Amino acid sequence: MLSVLQRIVAQRFHDVHAERRAIREQTLQAMLDERGAHRGFATALRGTTPAIVAEVKHASPSAGEIDRERGAAEIASAYEQGGAAAVSVVVEPRCFAGRHADLASVRAAVRLPVLCKDFVIDEFQLWKAAAFGADAVLLIAAILDDKRLAQFVALAAALSLEAVVEVHTPQELQRAIAVGAHVVGINNRDLATMAVDVGVASRLARLAPKGCVTLAESGYARPSQLRAAMDAGINAFLIGEALMRAPDPAAAVRMMREVHAWSE
């Protein structure tokens, strides 16, 4: 039986092939030519403690529907008001209800760097992410071999995209370092089983080389969890579901950022 990750990746192969037919190369190039100045993703994460990368996602395989009422731009604007360092936008359409149009609307609505989250298996997805306004793009080590991962990191740089290489194991972390990743996303979620262990990022962060930005992902819902991870040397956190479900996303981001003022 295929895992959730394998099913998503198989579907992305099919969908990306269709997307290639729907968008002309000249159209993407024209959009790239009109894209505004790059907004430094890694710089933003280094610039505040803790740095919150607040995510826009309307659904997920583990949580089902989360919030389809509020628009992406509205949510992202609230995140910015709350003090987020950057915004992540999930564009995968079938399991996460994402759209590249959301990426573009978020880019226009905020002054923060924008991360495009997708299951990248084709260089076309990097071109499309850049054309729709991304400043950074997620590359998942678990679905890319070493050659492809290195190629995508290089292409991302050529497109003025910062590559966030996502890992879940020490072996994947070493692969990310080997291809020159400057930002490593450490996912607490095992994408094969969807199980979450918030200790994963804390353990792997200690293995990352000095100067590498580590972005902890998945499972963070309380300031106490951030505080424990910060004790392990993590400064940046990607938070999605907890913020998306909050009645006041700006206040939810502020609460997470005021981690030192909370005790539980």
As annotated, the active-site residues are 55, 57, 117, 166, 187, 217-218
- Kindly report the backbone phi and psi dihedral angles of residue 245, in degrees, each rounded to the nearest multiple of 5, phi listed first: -85, -10
Q: What spatial distance separates the first Cα and last Cα of the chain, rounded to whole Å?
A: 41
Least Cα distance to 113 among 123, 121, 103, 122 occurs for 103
Beta-bridge mates of residue 238: 53, 217
Which amino acid appears at position 193 of this protein? T
3-class DSSP assignment, residue 8: helix
Q: What is the dihedral of CA 89, 182, 221, 253, to 10 degrees?
A: -60
Q: Helices (DSSP H) in 61-169: which residue ranges?
A: 72-82, 100-109, 123-131, 146-158
